[in-house]
Each structure stands twice: as structure tokens, then as C-alpha cells.
């Protein structure tokens, strides 16, 4: 299990793709190379 930390800027950009651009969580996670859990838990 990895304890990788993401910058606040990375997190904000990821969430904006979902909330402002209406991309699905799974699409954004796949594009960023992270799990959907990371987006929900972040």
C-alpha cells in the first residue's frame, strides 16, 4: 500500500475536472493514473 501524497494544486485540479467540466470520477482517475478511491478520499 502506497502513502503517496498529492499537492493541494493537484487535488483542486482533479476535483475541478469533475465539478466544472462534468467528467466522471472514473474518467478523471484513469486519466491521472490514480484510483477512484483517491479522489473520493482525497
pTM of this structure? 0.77
DSSP annotation of 3 = -
- Exposed, middle or buried: residue 3 (CB in 10 Å: 0-12, 13-18, 19+)? exposed
What the block records as the C-alpha cell of 1 is 500500500
Q: pLDDT tens digit string along 1-42? A: 566 788 999 999 999 999 999 999 999 999 999 999 988 887
| Per-residue pLDDT at 36 | 93
* Residues 18, 31 contacting (CB under 8 angstroms): no
| Per-residue pLDDT at 4 | 75
Domain boundaries, the chain: 8-41
Amino acid at each position: 500500500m502506497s502513502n503517496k501524497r498529492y499537492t493541494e494544486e493537484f487535488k483542486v485540479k482533479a476535483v475541478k475536472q469533475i465539478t466544472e467540466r462534468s467528467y466522471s470520477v472514473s474518467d478523471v482517475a484513469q486519466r491521472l493514473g490514480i484510483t477512484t478511491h483517491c479522489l473520493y478520499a482525497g
